[in-house]
Amino acid sequence: METIGIKLIISVLLGAAIGLERQSVQKSDSDDAADSGIRTFSLVGMLGCLAAIFYVNNLPLVFILLTAGTLVLICSHYFLLSQKTDDFGFTTEISFVLTFLIGVCAGTNIIPLQMIVAITVVIIVILSLKGSSEKLLSKVSRSEIESFISFAILGLVILPFLTNTTYTLADFPTFRSILEGMNIDVGRFDGLELLNPQKLWFIVVLITGIDVLGYILSRFVGKERGFTFTSFVGGFVSSTLTTQSLAQKSKQTTDSNYLVGAALLANQASFFQIFLLVGPINRKWLLAILPTLAIMIISSTILSIYFLRRKVDSDASESENGKNEHADKKIFSIIPALQFALLILVVKLMTNLCLIIFGKAGFVISSIIASFAGIDAILINLAGMAGNTITFGFALFTFILVNATNLLAKSFYCYLQGSRAFTLKFLISVLIVIALSFAGFLFI
């Protein structure tokens, strides 16, 4: 009996907490309306707990009757009140249902008490966001809503339905026959990766997602801070894609300084990733390249701070027009994202082709070529070989070369999709980082 009493008290208290929030938004000035929120929601919570207690004590018919009766009362309340006030919102009625379910959960113990309290807090927070959400929505333009819907279609509708299958040359017998008809030995190219639809489309979703997240953050913390934070986080996912997203934006502004600074931060995040890639495989080599990594991180930090703090004269005029900045702005463009996804597809195809041709005999050459698409796989390979088949110094030399090639490849991608000012500043920055990285040989 003591346990049942505790369950009832918890249900009443949680219902009262929700009722208190509902009571605070009531517009009536009468005393009865002022306390009906707490009383009504407390009773609904208790009713849900009682229904659950009857159910666990093998009285399911009573549980069904109480649940059905509660739903009928809630529906009747909604129908009568909406007819009287012409207000067809049903937030309060949904709150009644959730409060009843919270009482049921408390009475059956199917959810831990901590989780029940957490759910109640989430409900209260959501209910209390009415004023903030209305204020936010009043500032959202039609073009912004269309952009959010478009991104949802890209990421939640198209992406899950694309096949996650890697197609090789052997999967296209017609194309293979054509090559054989040209007296080309395609036997060793049967395993050549040509296309993975889901991974290719994921690149599009990731680029547009970086744009959307950066735009949302810019509305709350400002344009420069928003893209700076988003770029650093995006660098851990893909510094290449993040850099290209910023390069595309450089065509839409006269000030590319903060975009260059954000791009350097994205690449700095990729430097931190090296610790996670190399550490578990070869700690000794990680210690050997630690000075080089420190130089790269410090130099990119200094350069990013320099560009983030640098202002241009157009900032003042842009700030004066800040009120209309988001009026009809398009958050992202699908065409540049598709173009870059196709570019990555071609680059990966060419690098895989070169890896097959050169093989182990051209280790450095094949590694440099592969770095056009990324260096993660190369780093893992180097970590496994350093100190075994190759020396630490040679592994470091290869790492510096592939990292330099990767940064220069990003600069080339920026040239294709970004403004000339952005590309030049980013190129000069990465050349400085590359030049300083060679100082790591002093510590070997």
pLDDT tens sequence across 142-196: 677 777 778 888 888 788 888 888 888 777 777 667 666 666 666 666 666 778 8
pLDDT tens sequence across 236-256: 777 888 888 888 888 888 878
Percentage of the chain with pLDDT > 70? Answer: 76
Residue 314: is its pLDDT beyond 60? no
Residue found by looking up tokens 């049921």 in the block: 104
Closest Cα partner for 238 from 214, 273, 211? 273
pLDDT of residue 420: 92
Both structure tokens of 429: 């920055």
pLDDT of residue 356: 67
Give the whole-angstrom CA distance, residue 139 versus residue 147. 15
Q: Are 159 and 201 in contact (CB under 8 A)?
A: yes
pLDDT tens sequence across 81-98: 777 766 666 777 888 899
pLDDT of residue 28: 46
pLDDT of residue 31: 43
pLDDT band at 324 (very low <50, low <70, confident <90, very high): very low
pLDDT of residue 421: 92
Helix/strand/coil (H, E, C) string of the chain? CHHHHHHHHHHHHHHHHHHHHHHHCCCCCCHHHHHHHHHHHHHHHHHHHHHHHHHHCCCHHHHHHHHHHHHHHHHHHHHHHHHHHCCCCCHHHHHHHHHHHHHHHHHHCCCCHHHHHHHHHHHHHHHHCHHHHHHHHCCCCHHHHHHHHHHHHHHHHHHHHCCCCCEEHHHCHHHHHHHHHCCCCCHHHCCCEEECHHHHHHHHHHHHHHHHHHHHHHHHHCHHHHHHHHHHHHHHHHHHHHHHHHHHHHHHCCCCHHHHHHHHHHHHHHHHHHHHHHCCCCHHHHHHHHHHHHHHHHHHHHHHHHHHHCCCCHHHHHHHCHHHCCCCCCCCCHHHHHHHHHHHHHHHHHHHHHHHHHHHHHHHHHHHHHCCCCCHHHHHHHHHHECCCECHHHHHHHHHHHHHHHHHHHHHHHHHHCCHHHHHHHHHHHHHHHHHHHHHHHHC
Q: Average the pLDDT over 115-135 and give the result.
A: 75
Q: Are 247 and 418 in contact (CB under 8 A)?
A: yes
pLDDT tens sequence across 357-388: 666 556 677 777 777 767 877 787 778 778 88
Q: What is the pTM of this model?
A: 0.56
